[in-house]
Amino acid sequence: MELVYSKEGAGGQCALPEVSREVTDDDSALFFKVVSVDISEDAERIITQPQTVLPRQKNVLAIHWHPEFIPMDLIVRRVNAMFPNKDEELIIPTQHNDLLFLGDYAGVEVDCYSAGFNQKVQLLLHFQKERVQDAAVLRSMLEHTFKYRSSQLFAFIEALAQPDEEILNKAAEETGAGEDIVEFVRIVTAKIKILLEANYDQIPIFSIKNKVIKEFFNGLRPVYGNTWINRCQAFLQEVKKLVKLNFPFKYFYRTSEIIEEVRSLGGGIVIPHPEQFWPILLADYDVDGYEVWNPQSRRYTEFLIDVVNKTNHRASRQSRRLMIFMGDDTHMSEKIKPPEAQNQAKAAREIGYQPAWDDLAIRKKLILAKMDRGAVIEEYIARLTS
């Protein structure tokens, strides 16, 4: 390897590892491994044989989860194994900006833009399958949003490879990254850019996202060690955050436009992660309900249940009540990554596993709101099929 940058660190040791600016065979092999959507026999076994089995749970409600590139038949086998005695279910996939079907239903998690409070928000959309098989306008909207969101990857890469000095300096200051980390990240990212541009037409569309960079760096752990790569990842995460802050969300469809199209197709709408999008609780959008809990949104669960309950008490008798949902927000591909590359919190999530439904303190609130898993499943199915 050619040594392209050397900085004397503490004790006279080289602070920056030896790294080539040229794309090597090892770089190419790692890149294609990162963007691959192939499922090995070991991966299939991991997916279909869950470590957790819940034989006593009869109702399975799962309307916020991401198959990613895992085949749906393997996911169904996992859910059936995890809940062997289920007798009532509503299980709808919600891939980001990509409408997917499972059984009698279809779903998607869509990014949109709320101009009233100048923020990107997300909506969970759910449909009876037959109503969206030929939904040309909705599909066009999702395709546009998918491509636009994917363009964040290239904005991320350009900020590092060009570079954007303001963003890099801010990220370095926030994370304590030195010149060695910044230079190493820039060299490696430049090689990722070359590989992406050279192979763009043969890369699965699912793989064109910010995770390419994160997972490529994770693949370098055997060479450079966990400590070094962890420092790189902290810096990268901060750069990504700053790039997203500067991303012009006005090119997303407006939230009201998405809602109007969904309602024209008889679809349902749920607001996920409401603690991340507080203003949406005040926007009075035409939605079916709020997600009050998921593994990364637990802090305000009881408060949000109270909000829904009070809103329903104030509503007229002719209004449909707001419903309470909980989302597991499972990302299925996380389960088949090597342990050292996993986000352990995400890897632990399971489709349909939302323990807050059974929490004694939360159940008191749910009883007052006249909500439980079975009631929500029954009512939401009735809305989607009416």
Domain-embedded: residue 136: no
CA distances (Å), origin 249, targets 86, 242, 325: 41, 14, 27
Give the pLDDT confidence score for residue 282 in this predicted structure.
Answer: 77
Residue 138's pLDDT band, with cuts at 50, 70 and 90, is: very high
Domain-embedded: residue 168: yes
Q: How many domains does the chain have?
A: 2
Domain-embedded: residue 262: no
Domain-embedded: residue 50: no
Comparing 295 with 279, which gets the higher pLDDT? 295
Nearest alpha-carbon partner for 255 in 274, 269, 275, 273:
269
Confirm if 342 and 306 have CB atoms less than 8 A apart: no
Cis peptide before 163 (omega within 30 of 0): yes
Give the pLDDT confidence score for residue 30 in this predicted structure.
Answer: 95
Is the pLDDT assigned to residue 64 strictly greater than 50?
yes
Same domain, 197 and 65: no
Same domain, 81 and 157: no
The CA-based dihedral angle spanning residues 130, 131, 134, 140, taken in that order and rounded to the nearest 10 degrees? -140
Domain-embedded: residue 84: yes
Sign of CA dihedral 312, 313, 315, 319: positive
Same domain, 229 and 178: yes
Nearest alpha-carbon partner for 323 in 364, 288, 281:
288
pLDDT in tens, 351-376: 999 999 999 999 999 999 999 999 99
Same domain, 230 and 174: yes
Give the pLDDT confidence score for residue 8 in this predicted structure.
Answer: 41
Same domain, 184 and 328: no
Domain-embedded: residue 319: yes
Is the pLDDT assigned to residue 246 strictly greater than 90?
no
Is the pLDDT assigned to residue 5 strictly greater than 60?
no
Confirm if 323 and 379 have CB atoms less than 8 A apart: yes
pLDDT in tens, 197-237: 999 888 887 777 778 999 999 999 999 999 999 999 999 99
Same domain, 90 and 178: no
Nearest alpha-carbon partner for 373 in 126, 60, 63:
60
Residue 20: give the domain boundaries.
Answer: 10-35+150-245
pLDDT in tens, 326-352: 999 999 999 998 887 788 899 999 999
Using DSSP bridges, classify how beta strands 65-66 and 330-331 pair: parallel, antiparallel or unpaired: parallel
Give the pLDDT confidence score for residue 339 in this predicted structure.
Answer: 83
Same domain, 29 and 70: no
Domain finish residue from 193, 212, 245? 245
Domain-embedded: residue 16: yes
Same domain, 369 and 274: yes
Same domain, 164 and 30: yes
Comparing 363 with 14, which gets the higher pLDDT? 363
Same domain, 305 and 334: yes
Nearest alpha-carbon partner for 353 in 45, 48, 62:
62
Comparing 159 with 203, which gets the higher pLDDT? 159
Distance between CA atoms of residues 142 and 147, nearest Å: 9
Say what the pTM is.
0.89
Residue 87's pLDDT band, with cuts at 50, 70 and 90, is: very high
Same domain, 97 and 226: no
Give the pLDDT confidence score for residue 318 in this predicted structure.
Answer: 63
Same domain, 351 and 296: yes
List 331's β-bridge partners, or say none. Answer: 66
Domain-embedded: residue 331: yes
Mean pLDDT of the chain: 90
